A and B are shown apart, each in its own frame.
Chain A
Amino acid sequence: MAKIRIATTSLAGCFGCHMSFLDLDERLVALADLVEFDRSPITDIEHCTNCDIGLIEGGVCNSENVHTLREFRKNCKILVAVGACAINGGLPAMRNFIPLEECLSEAYLDGIGVENPQIPSDPELPLLLDKVRPIHEVVKIDYFLPGCPPSADVFWAFLTDLLEGREPSLSYELVHYD
């Protein structure tokens, strides 16, 4: 049987959800028999193609996030919002209540200990969005795994349900927002 192709990425996230995924520990060995990784921090593949499952950590905070998210939607049959930030913007979205200009000046001009104050403007840098947004506001999302981060057991329950052809469901103990 062909292996299931999984792509993963972190947008405006902290990689905590990816770390939690790695907490599957020895279960990763069992998983490796069934799945292979496409674009993901653990493969160095730059663009995803023809994947079965895309796992997205983080919300969208800049233009590059939007492009990446759209690429995932186009190339993954099932797209999954992983973690609080992908689902509601999470802690990065707490900047939504401060005008972007103020955020940038605090970080790069007026902040304590800033040397050589200037707002980074290299054309290679993606432009920031005025607000951090959850990913379901940009593309259609098929499943949501809440948690900050979702525990390894959440990933395991979800993936084994999918791989064994069941409709994924999370029990009470597995649903938490913190």
Chain B
Amino acid sequence: MTKTITIDGNAIPFEDGQTIMDAATAAGVYIPHLCHHPEYTPHGSCKLCTVRVNGRVCSACTFPAAEGQDVLNNTKDLNDDRQKITQMLFVEGNHFCPSCEKTGNCQLQAVAYYLNMLDDHFPHFYAHREMDASHHDVLIDHNRCIFCTLCVRASQQKDGKDVFAISGRGINKHLIVNSKSGQLKDTDLEASDQAAHICPTGAILIKRTGYTVPIGERIYDHKQIDEVSLASEAEDHG
């Protein structure tokens, strides 16, 4: 007999070893997420995937599915909390979408649209963050990093390299690269690496590719992130 959990009242099958996120995605149920990617070990840092499991607040991307779980996901309260979390991500960094090459194709922006986020609510930090344009093909704009560690994981788990890491804590947390000079050009990163393409924001960009897709044809111009995400991730979770 298949084991099931319920999400928002619907029975969702799961197999042992799956997280709530795995089971939900395989069944076509979208749980908002930014630091989660089906091909990599969960990190559980962005908290966008916060759900209630039998009343308790948990991260769906790290919490194992188990018999008897009654999960709340798409509720007003949870989406309000997710919107506040997203607003915090926006004010901690410097997100000027009109001048960002990722706009229209950015998961952070798309999650904010999905949550109908119309303002940033909190006061802005306007923290001074640098850019690293030293690499021939790849640019890092630290203003837009949300410390999801997807580039760290992709470099280690897919590319067999160790180009990125997160250093420091709290407000001083920042992305670092593995080279003596501290510059991206002196690492072994190549533009074809998975780590150069996985960033859910405009923090890691491939040079000379910006604005090639016209407004109206970008990923999230007409499709919401739930649809886009389920279409690309449902198989990985199968």
Interface residues of A (CB under 8 A from B): 81, 84, 87-91, 93-94, 96-97, 131, 133-134, 136-137, 141, 143-146, 148, 169-170, 172-173, 175-178
Bound-state CA distance A173–B113 (Å) is: 9
CB-contact partner of A89 in B109, B112, B116, B124, under 8 A: B124
Residue count of chain B within 8 Å CB distance of chain A: 27
Are B113 and A176 in contact, CB atoms less than 8 angstroms apart? Answer: yes
Q: List A contacts of B120 (CB < 8 A).
A: 87-88, 134, 136
Partner of B98, one of A136, A144, A148: A148
Residue numbers of B with Cβ under 8 A of A are 90, 94-100, 103-104, 109, 112-114, 116-121, 123-124, 126, 128, 215, 222, 224
Contact B119 A94 (CB under 8 A): no
A178 touches B98 (CB 8 A): yes
Question: Interface of chain B, helix or strand or loop or mixed?
Answer: loop
Name, among A136, A145, A173, A176, the residue most crowded by chain B CB atoms within 10 Å (CB to CB).
Answer: A176
Count contacts between A and B, CB distance < 8 Å: 71
Q: Is the CB of B126 within 8 A of A131?
A: yes
Beyond A144-B118, A170-B116, whether A91 also contacts B96 by CB under 8 A is yes
- Residues of A near B222 (CB, < 8 A) are 173
Residues of chain B within 8 A (CB-CB) of A175 are 113, 116-118
With A88-B124, A177-B103 as contacts: A93 and B96 at CB distance below 8 Å: yes
B116 — nearest CB in chain A belongs to which residue?
A175
B residues in contact with A173, CB < 8 Å: 222
Q: Which residues of B contact A169 (CB under 8 A)?
A: 116
- Which of A90, A97, A176 sits near B126, CB closer than 8 Å? A97
Q: A134-B124, A173-B222, A177-B103 are in contact. Are A84 and B119 (CB under 8 A)?
A: no
Apart from A93-B124, A178-B104: 9 A-B pairs, beta carbons within 8 A = A88-B124, A90-B98, A133-B124, A136-B121, A148-B97, A169-B116, A176-B113, A177-B98, A178-B103
Kindly state the separation between the CA atoms of A145 and B116 in the bound complex, as whole angstroms.
Answer: 11
A65 to chain B, nearest CB (A): 16
With A170-B116, A175-B113 as known contacts, state yes or no: A93 contacts B126, CB within 8 Å.
yes
Instruction: Report if A172-B123 is in contact (Cβ < 8 Å); known contacts: A93-B96, A177-B103.
Output: no
Q: Which residues of A contact B126 (CB under 8 A)?
A: 89, 93, 96-97, 131
A95 to chain B, nearest CB (A): 10
**Chain A residues near B114 (CB-CB < 8 A):** 172
